[in-house]
Chains A and B, each alone.
Chain A
Amino acid sequence: MLEIRDLHVKFHNRDREAVAGISLTIGDGEIVGLVGESGSGKSVTAMSIAGLLPRKQCDLSGDILLDGEDLLHAPRSALRQIHGRKIGVVFQEPMSAMDPLMKVGEQVGEVLRIHTDLDKNQRRARVLEVMEAVDLHNPEEVYNKYPHELSGGMLQRAMIAAAIVIQPALLLLDEPTTALDVTIQAQILELLKKLNAEQGISMLFISHNLNVVRKLCRRVAVMQRGVLVEEGSTDRVFFDPQHPYTKRLIDAIPTRHGKETV
């Protein structure tokens, strides 16, 4: 359903390409992990898919196809139809990713306002339904809150709700749990698993932590300095890493699991 072919991204103010020839596919209902240390180009990859790169400041080449539709070379106006409707994005810092002056419920329903003909009441009903689905309890109450009145974990649930409210085909998750503490992190991962199982949404899950990826994704790609150095089933990559960089990433995980493999 998503196919990236030989993607290159070069910022004008950088010598090196941020993304230097990546090819990756995500199948229907699949969750693919993308790991790599900070600065390796994971976010830039995700932003190219979501069309959020500043086009005037970089050169893009290659192809990104979503259900056969070209995302990279389409005009902005056509892309806006795809953003939000077919692709939902969840960012790392839920607090800064939300408009501080807009009620959480309105932000969750914003995609519906832009892409559907639903009236206010219908939108509200749908928003409450989705809030329930992402385990936000008391959705009525949460609807009327402003972002600063919610915890990081609740906000990230709301961000996820906003991203899936219109049932997009693909969810891009750019380090969605990095800013959260460990218990909340685990809950969010459970939630994503549930959404994937129940609604069949495909996901690209980005993290610098291979251990987190392992809990969620069956397939993982390892990124270093703008290229994919390794790709395969998560278990295979985790227990039998081929590339020295992957080995280093695994060794860097400060958990029991990491040591078991040594």
Chain B
Amino acid sequence: MKYALKRIFMLVLTMVIVSFLTFLAFELISGDPAEAMLGTEATPERLAALREELGLNRPFLVRYASWLAGFVSGDLGVSLRYRQPVWDLIAPKLEITLCLCLASFVLITAVSIPLAIWSYRWTGTVFEAVRTAFNQLCMAVPPFFTGILMTYLFGIVLRLFVPGDFPDLHTRFGEAMVHLFFAAVCLGIPRTAMTVRMMRSTVISEMQKAYVRTAISRGNDRHAVLTRHVLKNSLTSAITFLGQTMAELIGGSVVVEQVFGIPGLGRLLVYSISTRDYPVVQTVVVILAFWVVLAGTLADLINQQVDPRLRLGGAA
């Protein structure tokens, strides 16, 4: 429990640092927001008035504090491009991207763990060569390419979804999920292959350990050695790896959203960067950072439940 609190404190601290650095960086690169909003022909008087209104004349730290307070309370400023509150702009996109990433994550986890066990069992059989080749293929082919193939096959030929025409997530949830499913598969294939490979080698190295010999000496068969001892011991590295996977998925989703025509965060981000819509970009950067830190924290907290050795110092 103490450990969990410590970990959550670390998360908050990291986020404060990240947000500060982000705020600082955007201060440096974005120039004068008043000028950006009014354009170059604005009169000096109007610029001064807007600066006053936006609070740009206050000291840097004060502005940071008020931005942070706004962030926490959901007031993220106004998009320069759309003249809409940033949160209203981001929320529906974030929803879609989260659905995509979570679907992909669930697929990766559900598929890779059984596959890893199978592929371990196939060691030394004719399947092994086939498995290795297939695994490498899955890792090597980039998601945008499988994405193109899948939009063609499932979208255009089989008409299971309409590429580029994403159904509304709230009113046509089922259809939207079908659309997302194929994108999630594309996004998940390379990471699934990596997870399988990583888990397989963890299981193999665990199998060499002395406790396995003890387990066999007690009369456990191969299956029991695996299920009762080795899998649990392999779990912590799998969870750490899956945590990294979860963190990386959101980055990978940008490309996949483009291929499948999904109006998620990725598209908004690309558009906002190209139009220098800094309030939007700034917010997305912080959200992405939060996602990454959250994934790592969750993985650590789960691992600590699995492995009592990690509870040292936090148990009492």
Where the two chains meet, the residues of A that have a C-beta atom closer than 8 Å to any C-beta of B are 50, 52, 77, 80-85, 87-89, 91, 93, 96-102, 110-111, 114-115, 146, 148-149, 159, 162
Contacts and interface: CB of A to CB of B under 8 A. Distances in A.
A97 B214 contact: yes
Interface stretch (B77-85, B108-116, B305-313): B305-313
Nearest to B217: A89
Contacts of A83: 216-219
B218 A84 contact: yes
B219 A97 contact: no
Most buried by A among B216, B219, B229, B308: B219
A102 B229 contact: yes
B50 interface: no
Given A96-B209, A114-B218, A114-B224, 14 more contacts: A50-B217, A52-B213, A83-B217, A89-B217, A98-B214, A100-B211, A100-B309, A110-B215, A110-B218, A111-B219, A114-B220, A146-B308, A148-B309, A162-B218
B219 A146 contact: no
Most buried by A among B214, B233, B307, B308: B214
A159 B228 CA distance: 18
B232 interface: yes
Contacts of A101: 229, 232-233, 306-308
B316 interface: no
B213 A91 contact: yes
A213 to B, nearest CB: 22
B167 to A, nearest CB: 45
Contacts of B218: 83-84, 110-111, 114, 162
B306 to A, nearest CB: 7
Contacts of A148: 308-309
Nearest to A106: B228
B221 interface: yes
Contact of B217 (A52, A77, A102, A115): A52
A88 B216 CA distance: 11
B210 A93 contact: yes
Contacts of B233: 99-101
27 contacts: A52-B213, A52-B216, A52-B217, A80-B220, A81-B219, A83-B219, A84-B218, A91-B213, A91-B214, A96-B210, A97-B213, A97-B214, A99-B211, A99-B214, A99-B215, A100-B211, A101-B232, A101-B233, A101-B306, A101-B307, A102-B229, A111-B218, A111-B219, A146-B309, A148-B308, A159-B214, A162-B218
A91 B210 CA distance: 9
Nearest to A79: B219
A84 B219 contact: yes
A175 to B, nearest CB: 13
A50 B308 CA distance: 31
Interface in B181-230: 209-211, 213-221, 224, 228-229
Contacts of A111: 218-219
Contacts of A162: 218
Contacts of B306: 101
Contacts of A97: 210-211, 213-214
Contacts of B217: 50, 52, 83-84, 87-89
A159 B215 CA distance: 12
Contacts of A91: 210, 213-214
A50 B213 CA distance: 10
A115 B221 CA distance: 12
A162 B46 CA distance: 84
A80 B221 CA distance: 7
A99 B235 CA distance: 14
Contact of B214 (A80, A81, A89): A89
9 closest Cβ pairs, A-B complex:
A84-B219, A84-B218, A96-B210, A89-B217, A83-B219, A99-B211, A146-B308, A80-B219, A97-B214
B223 to A, nearest CB: 11
A147 to B, nearest CB: 9
A77 B223 CA distance: 12
A111 B213 CA distance: 14
Nearest to B224: A114
Most buried by B among A89, A96, A101, A146: A101
A60 to B, nearest CB: 16
Given A101-B307, A146-B309, A148-B309, A96 B211 contact: yes
Nearest to B307: A101
B216 A99 contact: no
